[in-house]
Chain A
Amino acid sequence: MSPTHVLARILLSLQLLAVLTTAHAKEAAPVPALPKGVLVLTPSPAPDFNLKNLDGKSFSLKANRGHWVFVHFWASWCGPCRKELPAIQKMIKAMRNTSLKIMLVNTAETEDTVFNFFGKLELELDTLLDQDGQVTEQWKPRGLPVTVMVDPKGYKRYMIIGGRPWDSKPYLDFLHRLIDTKAKQTP
């Protein structure tokens, strides 16, 4: 075997080794941990709803099929909800150029209550009004506030319990990972 052949074999072996190492590194890349309070759900169809917002315009969950949807249940009397809403407002701004759809659902309060509440807290948010509380009952959240992430096929995939700093990096990264992922995969 000529020295050229030996050199070629060595180079080939090194290339192969490099390819294998890269492949292994890709496989072994750590899966990012879910942020605090995120529960993985056994996928189940998200019940559809059709609710009006503060301007009286109707919105349905089904109309957002094909996108990840952030469905958030809240009430003005719930302390953790009050703390969390400013962070949600910032998150909405941060995610405005993405495909994420956001639906806030107020549980069982009147338009006036919600309007006054947003005014007091200087929040520029829109919310759907589940005035008789029946949509919330149907979704059976563990408590208030609660967020459910619905995948592009309309399945409930994650439940995020309690008030969370949605404008912080771990939660924004989590949302970005979701919208970068196809519905079938779990990020």
Chain B
Amino acid sequence: MKTLLVSTAFILSAAYVDRLPAVKQKAAPVMIKSQITRDGTRILVDNRYFKLRLIARTPEQIAAFYYARGFPQAMIERITKTCFITTGITNKTKDILWMDLAHWKFTTADNRQVRRFSRRYWFALWKKMKVPLRFQSTFRWTLIPRSLDYRPQEREGGNITLEPTTQSFTLTALFHVGQDQRTARPVLLHLPGIRCAGTTATKQKGSK
């Protein structure tokens, strides 16, 4: 059983690395063993490298937050059609933990990739919609940084915005641990069972 698990981890790692954009891998990533706690729409992942907290936000929560900041109606309408996952990462190592969203993949059980809306996507959209700069700026600050070198004990986070889906999906996220990014050790997180908290685009009658 143990061999099977290790082999599966290796295959998953290898398959993942093949798809990575422009990353030179010297060693296969180590699959991270985590303790996972689930509570409603919250997932807490705890392992020797980091703590990761994911909270799926409902459209009502998201709308309330941005309404309170005075965001224009058109902006809120678009935002609430998105799957919002509030994400917090704390580096537990004494090294630098390198995070880059380009190495995060969200995949459904039928192997369909869930699209992540990037900062560039939102920037282009808000520009097209002629959204005032201050709302653009606040919105950007509520998103998780595209990439970050987490220092020891540092905690940073923000929202990840995804294409809405009613299906459960898996996050496969590659991190690197080490002082120098070029030689840092790759570690891979495999986290199944994530769900959006419902969006106006996907909400169905009777759904929570």
By a beta-carbon cutoff of 8 Å, the part of chain A in contact with chain B is: 36-37, 39, 75, 77-78, 107-110, 113, 131-134, 136-137, 142-144, 161-162
The tally of residues in B whose CB lies under 8 Å from a CB in A reads 23
Closest A-B pairs by Cβ, 6 of them? A133-B137, A132-B133, A108-B137, A108-B134, A143-B156, A108-B138
Cβ B154 vs Cβ A133 within 8 A: no
Could you tell me the distance in whole angstroms from the C-beta of A76 to the nearest C-beta in chain B? 9
Determine the chain A residues whose CB is within 8 A of the CB of B140 once the complex forms: 133, 137
Interface centre among B132, B133, B137, B142 (most CB of A within 10 A): B137
Q: Can you name 12 A-B pairs with beta carbons within 8 Å?
A: A77-B65, A78-B141, A107-B137, A108-B134, A108-B138, A110-B134, A113-B70, A132-B132, A132-B133, A132-B134, A143-B157, A161-B156
Cβ A75 vs Cβ B154 within 8 A: no
Among B27-35, B76-84, B145-153, the stretch in contact with A: B145-153
* Known contacts A36-B153, A39-B151, A77-B65; A133 and B70 CB within 8 A of each other: no
The total of Cβ contacts below 8 Å across the A-B interface reads 60
Q: Is the interface of A mostly helix, strand, loop or mixed?
A: loop
Cβ A161 vs Cβ B151 within 8 A: yes
Determine the chain B residues whose CB is within 8 A of the CB of A161 once the complex forms: 151, 154, 156
C-alpha spacing A77/B132, complex, angstroms:
18
Task: Closest A residue to B142 by CB, please name it.
Answer: A77
C-alpha spacing A161/B154, complex, angstroms:
8
Cβ B148 vs Cβ A109 within 8 A: no
Answer yes or no: B158 CB below 8 A from chain A CBs: yes
C-alpha spacing A162/B91, complex, angstroms:
13
Answer yes or no: B136 CB below 8 A from chain A CBs: yes
C-alpha spacing A162/B145, complex, angstroms:
14
The digit string for B146-184, where 1 denotes a CB below 8 A from any CB of A, is 001001011111100000000000000000000000000
Answer yes or no: B69 CB below 8 A from chain A CBs: yes
